Amino acid sequence: MKPTVLVTGASGGIGLATARLFAAKGHPTVLHYNRSPEPALAAAREINAAGGVALAVRADVSQPGEVSAMFDAVRDQLSGVDILINNAAIARQSLFTDVSYDEWRNTFSVNVDGMFLCCREALPHMLRMHAGSIVNLSSMWGQVGASCEVLYSATKAAVIGLTKALAQEVGPSGIRVNCVAPGVIDTAMNSHLSGDDLNWELRRRSRRQFTSSLRTARPLSPDRFSVPTEDSSCSVCCILSDNLFTARGCCAA
C-alpha cells in the first residue's frame, strides 16, 4: 500500500485539490476539515466510491487535544501518517493598528501552532520508519510581506523558519520537510480580491514560470515533481511524496 497522506484544510482550495491528487495517485488520503465539513466529506465519499481509500476527520488544529484525537483516528482506521501536508490557515486583511491582540493570537494559533501540533503528532511514526515527508504551506507574503496583511505575512514567515529548522533536525533521520509559498490563488480565502488582482498575479506566475523556478531552486528531474491546478488557475502546490522530491528545507515560490 502507498504511504498514507494527511492534508489539513482539505475542505476547499489548495487543500482539497491536493487531497484529490494524492487519492488519484492511489494514496490512502485523510481530508481534514474544521468549519466546512461537506466538501471534505463529499470528496471522501467520491474517492471511496471510486475504489480509493479516504477518510474525512474534523479537528481545530489550534487545539492540542483535537489534533491528538485526529491522529489517533487516522492510526486506528488507516495507519500512521507518512506524508503530512500542513495547509490549514486563516487570513485577516486590516491595518496593523486595527489588529487586536486576540486576532493576533488566534491567527498564529491556527497558522503556526497548528503546524507545530500536527508535526509533533506525525513525527514519532516517521522517526520509527526512518522515512516520511512534511510539506508546509506558506505564502509569497511570508517572503516579501504585504501592506494590510502584516498579521498573515508574519505567520507565513514563521512557517518558512519552522520548515528550514525542522528540516535540519529530522533530515538525518530520513524525513524531508519542505515548504511551498504560492502567490495569489483564486480560493475562498482570496475572495475579497478583484478579478484584475487575480489575473495580474496569475499571468505573472504562469505554470511554466513556476516549474522553471522550482527546477532551478534545487536539482530535480522532470519525473520528481507534480503540479496540480484548481479550475483554470495557475499552479498552486508542489506535491511531495516518498519518491517525488529529494530536497530538504526548500521553499518553492
Query: Which DSSP helix (H) or strand (E) runs through 7?
Result: strand 5-7
pLDDT score for 238: 45
Catalytic residue among 22, 71, 141, 152: 152
pLDDT score for 184: 52
Cell numbers standing for residue 150: 502584516
The DSSP secondary-structure symbol of 223 reads G
pLDDT score for 253: 59
Closest to 158 in 3D by CA, of 194, 222, 115, 122: 115
pLDDT score for 21: 92
Residue 33 appears among annotated catalytic residues: no
* Position 120, amino acid: R
Compute the distance between CA of residue 217 and CA of residue 4 in angstroms, rounded to an integer: 27
pLDDT score for 147: 87
Compute the distance between CA of residue 93 and CA of residue 152 in angstroms, rounded to an integer: 8
Sorted by sequence, the CB contacts under 8 Å of residue 18 that are 6+ apart come out as: 7, 10, 85, 87, 228, 237, 239
* Position 175, amino acid: I
What's the pTM value of the predicted model, to 2 decimals?
0.79
Q: Tell me the domain boundaries of the chain.
A: 5-252
The tens place of each residue's pLDDT in the chain, 253 residues long, gives 899 999 999 999 999 999 999 999 999 999 999 999 999 999 999 999 999 999 999 999 999 999 999 999 999 999 999 999 999 999 989 999 999 999 999 999 999 999 999 999 999 999 999 999 999 999 998 888 888 899 999 999 999 999 999 999 999 999 999 999 886 544 444 444 445 544 544 444 444 444 444 444 433 333 333 343 343 222 323 435 444 455 566 676 5
pLDDT score for 141: 86
**Would you list the DSSP string of 149-170?**
-HHHHHHHHHHHHHHHHHHHHH
Task: Residues 5-252: name the CATH superfamily.
Answer: NAD(P)-binding Rossmann-like Domain (3.40.50.720)
> Based on C-alpha coordinates, what's the Rg of the chain?
17
pLDDT score for 249: 63
Q: Within 13 Å, how many C-alpha atoms sit on residue 37's CB side? A: 6
Grouping H, G, I as helix, E, B as strand and the rest as coil, residue 52 is: coil
- For residue 117, count other CB atoms closer than 10 A to its CB: 23
